[in-house]
Copies of this chain bind each other. A is one copy, B any other.
Amino acid sequence: MGRRQDLIDTALRLFYEHGIHAIGINQVLQEAGVAKQTLYNHFESKDSLVEAAVEHRDKLFFQWLESRMNSQPAGREALMEMFDAVHDWFNDRVPSLQRFYGCFFINTCGEYSDPDHPVHRRCAAHKTKVFELLKRHALEICTSETEADELANALFLLKEGAIVKAHVEGDLDAALKAKAIASRMISPH
């Protein structure tokens, strides 16, 4: 299981930093130290490798975020912790997520605009999973399902907006500002 994972790790690292269409298979092979035939033994095409990279990033990111949130009491504290977590991410304090180049899933959808493409679908599935995670915690502090849905949605939009602002404009405090807004939304009383 070594070579396959080496390929995925290297591909993800390069795709995330430079975009997918900007990176050729040969560069992945060279930096991974793997022969070309080995790649095509494990994957039937470059797109297939891309899918595996997206899947891997999904696992890496989601498990990291979930465990960060689980380090706090469910509900309000966990939701606030999310903003501290992405703040660490923006400021390159999460080595397992690599240096910050925005959201890999957002960036990837920019290169795969067709919503039916398997790569785009995996990115969408990731975002939905994160939303559901937020909603689980929102349910802890809301009195109705729809209220929880609305809260989770608001926090989700703030988080996505912060990612974009941090990456495009280089605003490294975007997460903290988003947290301040979120904080006022949850307990403005």
Q: Which of A29-37, A40-48, A68-76, A110-118 contacts B (4 or more CB under 8 A)?
A: A110-118
Query: What are 18 A-B pairs at a CB distance below 8 A?
Result: A19-B111, A21-B111, A102-B113, A106-B168, A107-B107, A107-B110, A124-B168, A124-B169, A127-B165, A150-B177, A156-B165, A157-B157, A157-B158, A157-B174, A158-B161, A160-B164, A161-B164, A188-B188
In whole angstroms, what is the CA distance A123 to B128 when docked?
A: 27
Determine the chain B residues whose CB is within 8 A of the CB of A163 once the complex forms: 164
Is residue A154 contacting chain B, with contact meaning CB distance below 8 A? Answer: yes
In whole angstroms, what is the CA distance A157 to B164 when docked?
A: 8
Is residue A89 contacting chain B, with contact meaning CB distance below 8 A? Answer: no
Is residue A153 contacting chain B, with contact meaning CB distance below 8 A? Answer: yes
In whole angstroms, what is the CA distance A106 to B128 when docked?
A: 20
Are B153 and A157 in contact, with the CB atoms below 8 A? no
In the complex, residue of chain B having the shortest beta-carbon distance to the beta carbon of A123: B168
Interface size class of A (residues with CB under 8 A): 35 or more
Q: Looking at the assembled complex, report how far the CB atom of A101 sits from the nearest CB atom of chain B, in whole angstroms.
A: 5
Q: Looking at the assembled complex, report how far the CB atom of A140 sits from the nearest CB atom of chain B, in whole angstroms.
A: 20
Main secondary structure of the interface of A (DSSP, over half): helix
Is residue A159 contacting chain B, with contact meaning CB distance below 8 A? Answer: yes
Determine the chain B residues whose CB is within 8 A of the CB of A105 once the complex forms: 168
Determine the chain B residues whose CB is within 8 A of the CB of A177 once the complex forms: 150, 153, 157
Contacting residues of chain A (145-183) with chain B, CB-CB under 8 angstroms: 150, 153-154, 156-165, 167-170, 174, 177-178, 180-181
